[in-house]
């Protein structure tokens, strides 16, 4: 091997190492960015923390009433639920369920009304907020006394309704919608491209950059 050829090969090897290093840095940045965006998408806020009816949210059910309102055309029942915090504090919310799934909540409902002694595990449910209309609001106000114990009962009117029960109920019959995120998609595509280039370079194949350099040298 001539001295000139040896120098050229060492130069190519150095370029490959540099390219691999650059690819690794870019891959790390893209991976962290993609993971951060994905986590942001996967993090589901609590119903109380939603800012839009497009926000997929959750509540955790510790106690639950029988339905106090019914939407016949959709077979949806509206129920009160109590969510209990670790501190012992509790909050009342409204949720809508498919009445065909009533058995999923039956143990908690029975426990709430004293028809069952053993306390069941709480259930975390997901869905989308739906703004409460006047008819459901009126039914909720009139029936709340049948659910909340007298010692904890608060006089709720249309004026203070949102302060105690929020302005929306959680519709658990709605599945999460897949939202196209162009930035996240671009991140994945760029990451895939860089990984391919990294593998080609790592395996000793001449990169696009080197091939371009060689063609220029031949000229």
One domain, residues 86 and 160: yes
Between these two residues, 54 and 154, which has the higher pLDDT value?
A: 54
One domain, residues 70 and 160: yes
One domain, residues 85 and 188: no
One domain, residues 78 and 121: yes
- Per the structure, how many domains does the chain have? 2
One domain, residues 34 and 135: no
- % of residues, the chain, pLDDT over 70: 82
Between these two residues, 25 and 182, which has the higher pLDDT value?
A: 25
User: What per-residue confidence (pLDDT) applies to 150?
Assistant: 60
Under the banding of pLDDT at 50, 70 and 90, the label for residue 57 is very high
- pLDDT at residue 196 is higher than 80: yes
pLDDT in tens, 64-105: 999 999 998 989 999 999 998 777 778 889 999 999 999 999
Q: Which residue range is the domain that position 10 belongs to?
A: 3-42+180-218
Contact 201, 209 (CB under 8 A): no
Q: What is the DSSP track for 111-151?
A: HHTTS-SSPPPPEEEEEEEEEPPHHHHHHHHHHGGGTS-GG
Segment 1-5 mean pLDDT = 54
Q: Cα(first)–Cα(last) distance of the chain, in Å?
A: 23
- For residue 126, being part of any structural domain is answered with yes
Tokens (6 digits) for 36: 């951060």
User: What per-residue confidence (pLDDT) applies to 7?
Assistant: 57
One domain, residues 164 and 86: yes
One domain, residues 164 and 117: yes
Between these two residues, 145 and 149, which has the higher pLDDT value?
A: 145
Contact 82, 155 (CB under 8 A): no
One domain, residues 189 and 206: yes
- For residue 50, being part of any structural domain is answered with no
- For residue 31, being part of any structural domain is answered with yes
Under the banding of pLDDT at 50, 70 and 90, the label for residue 208 is very low
Distance CA 205, CA 146 (A): 75
Tokens (6 digits) for 73: 């055309």
One domain, residues 24 and 112: no
One domain, residues 160 and 75: yes
One domain, residues 134 and 72: yes
Distance CA 59, CA 100 (A): 20
The residue behind tokens 């509206």 is 78
pLDDT in tens, 119-144: 999 999 999 999 999 999 999 988 88
Q: Where are the beta strands (DSSP E) in 29-114?
A: 57-61, 63-64, 69-71, 76-84, 90-98
Distance CA 47, CA 52 (A): 10
Q: How far is CA 88 from the centre of its chain?
A: 26
């Amino acid at each position: 091997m001539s001295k000139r050829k040896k120098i050229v090969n060492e130069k190519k090897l150095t370029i490959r190492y540099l390219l691999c290093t650059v690819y690794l840095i870019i891959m790390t940045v893209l991976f962290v960015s993609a993971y951060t965006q994905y986590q942001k998408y996967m993090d589901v806020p609590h119903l109380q923390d939603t800012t839009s009816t497009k926000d997929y949210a959750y509540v955790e059910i510790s106690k639950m009433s029988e339905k106090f309102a019914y939407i016949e055309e959709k077979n949806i029942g509206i129920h009160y639920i109590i969510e209990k915090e670790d501190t012992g504090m509790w909050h009342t919310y409204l949720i809508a369920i498919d009445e065909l799934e009533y058995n999923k909540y039956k143990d908690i409902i029975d426990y709430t009304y004293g028809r069952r002694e053993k306390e069941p595990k709480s259930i975390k449910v997901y869905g989308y907020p739906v703004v409460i209309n006047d008819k459901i609001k009126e039914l909720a106000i009139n029936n709340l006394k049948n659910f909340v114990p007298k010692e904890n009962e608060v006089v709720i009117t249309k004026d203070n309704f949102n302060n105690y029960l929020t302005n929306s109920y959680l519709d658990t019959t709605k599945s999460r919608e897949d939202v196209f995120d162009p930035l996240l998609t671009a991140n994945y595509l760029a990451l895939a491209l860089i990984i391919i280039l990294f593998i080609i370079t790592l395996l000793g194949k001449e990169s696009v950059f080197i091939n371009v350099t060689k063609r220029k040298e031949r000229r």
